[in-house]
Amino acid sequence: MDRELSIVALPGDGIGNEIFDEARKVLNWINNNSYYKLNITEELVGGSSIDEFGEPLTNNVLDKLRVSDAILLGAVGGPKWEGLTFDKRPERGLLKIRKELDLFANFRPAIVFDSLASSSSLKSEIINGLDLMIIRELTGGIYFGEPRGIEKLNESNYKGFNTLVYTSEEVRRIASVAFETAQSRSKKLCSVDKANVLESTELWRKVVIEVSKNYSDVELTHMYVDNASMQLVRDPKQFDVIVTTNMFGDILSDCASMLTGSLGMLPSASVGVNDLGGKNAMYEPVHGSAPDISGKSIANPLAMILSVAMMFKYSFEDSSMSDIVIRSVNKVLNNGYRTKDIFTDECKLLSTSDMGDAVIEELKNEKL
């Protein structure tokens, strides 16, 4: 029996369309070679939505996202729209999706493929075998806190301000997700905060400790964010699962991305619970819209393709299909194929489209 599912694709801006084209090849292959019937519709978000509708996310698109089984996002933003007010910029469309769908838990894995160890800026013995999960709280903290703004104090002086705030319930639910994730892995969880100077993260630490009492099999440690940044570079394999605030997670996950060799290799999942008790989820590469390479056919589509793998694991609860996609990507890398961002002299340089085709060729060798 076919399993029919609806996916809303938001290619977005910059390289978003290019990398999504390669993810669509994977989705089409799955449609043609499995019992899945994936109904994929493309909608506008970010700068492309501003150009068409004058706003970064329309209510019509938001309504479609609410009833979808999963969302795939390419990337948003670019210098073209930087002159707009904050509430009209492309990134506000992304933030609105996260908030309106309550996508509070962001999963950002940092996995080093063996064949890419040499692409990392760190020594191979430091990052070989790295398999790290950063869980970032995504709908609270300083990115959403009020009040915020810029005020004119006098003719020559202005004041910019933001509000960092967390409630105990916001911390409790992300901590529970992190502990459950740690239980399914190595049963180690590190909570990253700045509790020595920020009251909001003093509360964060207190609540995480309270939640830990329900997960006695998980070893909980705490680390200040400045030390965590250093430790990620010094000894990243000491970590298995990290849970942290919105802004700290944003920064630490980008830091972790370079352990793997390229931002172009990192997928992510943003997950919440809808009004019916099911999952809302959006999957996207960690990287941005990269307008400087847009249209040059050199963008790495693998993070987008690996985001498809995460979609099958977390939304469709099909680890087998997820593993097939990941395995195919790994085989492509083992064969020495590279896009420009991870290219070394002994490898074969591929365009964005050619890399997608290479993944499809490996998928053809898989048994479903």
* Average pLDDT, integer, range 35-53: 97
Range with the poorest average pLDDT among 158-172, 211-225, 271-285: 271-285
Catalytic residue among 114, 131, 226, 292: 226
Domains recognised in the chain with CATH numbers: 1-102+274-368 (3.40.718.10), 108-263 (3.40.718.10)
- 158 pLDDT band, cuts 50/70/90, is very high
Whether the ω angle into residue 147 lies within 30 degrees of 0, i.e. cis, is yes
- Amino acid 274: pLDDT: 66
- Amino acid 189: pLDDT: 98
Q: Give the tens place of pLDDT for each residue, 281-332.
A: 999 998 899 999 999 999 999 999 999 999 999 999 999 999 999 999 999 9
Judge whether 254 counts as a catalytic residue.
yes
Q: Is the pLDDT of residue 85 over 70?
A: yes
Which has the closest alpha carbon to 71: 272, 280, 274, 356?
Answer: 280
Judge whether 143 counts as a catalytic residue.
yes
Q: Is the pLDDT of residue 180 over 60?
A: yes
Catalytic residue among 143, 166, 215, 337: 143
Q: Give the tens place of pLDDT for each residue, 229-272.
A: 999 999 999 999 999 999 999 999 988 888 887 778 899 999 99
Q: What are phi and psi of 216, to 5 degrees?
A: -65, -20
Judge whether 323 counts as a catalytic residue.
no
Judge whether 314 counts as a catalytic residue.
no
* Average pLDDT, integer, range 50-63: 97
- 214 pLDDT band, cuts 50/70/90, is very high
Q: Is the pLDDT of residue 276 over 60?
A: no
Q: Give the tens place of pLDDT for each residue, 86-131.
A: 889 999 999 999 999 999 999 999 999 888 887 788 888 899 889 9
* Residue 291 falls in which region: left (phi positive, over 0), alpha (psi -120 to 50) or beta: alpha
Catalytic residue among 13, 69, 193, 250: 250
278 or 237: which leads in pLDDT: 237
- For residue 188, the surrounding DSSP H or E stretch is strand 188-193
- Amino acid 135: pLDDT: 97
- Amino acid 65: pLDDT: 96
- Amino acid 277: pLDDT: 59
- Amino acid 307: pLDDT: 97
Q: How far is CA 348 from its chain centroid?
A: 28
Judge whether 250 counts as a catalytic residue.
yes
Q: Is the pLDDT of residue 1 over 80?
A: no
- Amino acid 69: pLDDT: 95
List the helix and strand counts (H, then E) for the chain: 12, 14
Q: What are phi and psi of 219, to 5 degrees?
A: -80, 120
Question: Among residues of the chain, what percentage have pLDDT more than 90?
Answer: 85
The model's pTM = 0.91
* Average pLDDT, integer, range 45-56: 97
- Amino acid 212: pLDDT: 98
- Amino acid 294: pLDDT: 95
Catalytic residue among 21, 102, 240, 254: 254
